[in-house]
Amino acid sequence: MPAHSQTSTDRLKDVLAQDGPEFLGRAYLLMLGRPVDPEGFRSYSARLNSGASKLSILAELRASAEGQAYGANVPDPLAALAQGGLEEGIGSMRGGLYPVATNIKELLALDDLVFIDCAYKSLLKRAPDAIGLNNYLKLIRSGAAKMRVVSQLFFSAEGRKAAPSLRGLRRAMLQYWLASNPLTGWWYRPIAQAEGDTPLECRLRAVENTLMRMAQNHERESNELDTAADDIARFLKVLANRRSA
C-alpha cells in the first residue's frame, strides 16, 4: 500500500477515535477543509445522540457537494473499511457507534450500520471487526432480514461462547426459523406477521434501505442549504450595515 494511503487511513482512524464535539470538529476539517458550522454541529450532534454512526457521518460529509468539491485526500470511509484499513479505528471508538441493546425489539428497531454495530456488541460482546461489518452491511443492504444476521452471529463459535442473554432473542429466532423455512414459512408468515427471506421480501427491504439512506442524505443536504442561506443573509446584513454607516 502506498505511503500516502496509509497516512490518509491513519487520519480517518484518528478522527474515529474522537467523540462528540471533538469528533465533529475534526470530521469537518478532514472531509470539508473547514471548521464545523453551528447548524451542522446541531444537526450531526442530534444524529450522533440518536445513534447514527461516525462512519456514516464521515461518508456523508465526503459524498456531499461540498465534500466532493473539496476533494479530501482521504479514502472513502466505507471503502477503507471494506479493505480492513479501519479495523483499529473501530476498536478504538470509545463507546462504539451505539450502546448495547437490552432486548431483541430494541436491536431490530435499528438500521444499517448502527444495527450491525449494536448486534455485535449485544451478541458477541465486542465491537465489529472491519471484515465482519463490511460483509453484514452488504447483506443488510441487499435486503436480508435482520434476524438472519442475528442468527448467524448467535450460532457462530464466538456467539456460542459469548452466550448472550438478550431478552426475547430465542423466541425471535424460533419465529424467524418458522418464517424462513420452506415447509412452514408459507403459512406462518401471514399468521405471525413475521419476516422471512423470500426473494420478494429481500427486494422490498433493499429498496426500503436505499430510500432510508436517500432520505438521510436529503435531510443533510437541506440542512446545508439552510446554513448557506443563513450565511448569505448574514453577509447581506453586514454589507447593508456598512453602507448605512
Q: What is the pLDDT of residues 14-47, one digit of tens each?
A: 888 888 888 899 999 988 889 998 888 888 888 7
What lies within 8 Å, CB to CB, of 213 at 6+ separation is 112
The amino acid at residue 245 is A
Express each pLDDT in 191-228 by its tens digit.
Answer: 888 888 889 999 999 999 888 878 877 776 776 677 77
C-alpha cell at 211: 430510500
147 lies in the same domain as 65: no
Q: Is residue 63 pLDDT above 90, yes or no?
A: no
Q: Which of 45, 71, 95 is the last residue of a domain?
A: 95
Q: pLDDT higher for 230 or 209?
A: 209
144 lies in the same domain as 238: yes
187 lies in the same domain as 242: yes
Q: Which of 95, 126, 159 is the last residue of a domain?
A: 95
Q: Is residue 97 pLDDT above 60, yes or no?
A: no
Q: Domain range for residue 116? A: 98-245
Which pLDDT belongs to residue 130? 73
pTM: 0.58
Whole-Å CA distances, 56 to 15, 170, 214? 13, 31, 12
168 lies in the same domain as 187: yes
Which pLDDT belongs to residue 95? 46
C-alpha cell at 110: 435499528
73 lies in the same domain as 155: no
33 lies in the same domain as 8: yes
Which pLDDT belongs to residue 8? 67
Express each pLDDT in 151-204 by its tens digit.
Answer: 999 999 999 998 888 899 999 999 999 999 999 988 998 888 888 888 999 999
Q: Identify which of 32, 108, 45 has the alpha carbon closest to the alpha carbon of residue 72.
A: 32
End-to-end CA distance of the chain: 59
121 lies in the same domain as 161: yes
Q: How many domains does the chain have?
A: 2
Q: Is residue 92 pLDDT above 50, yes or no?
A: no
Q: Which of 95, 114, 134 is the last residue of a domain?
A: 95
Segment 60-84 mean pLDDT: 69
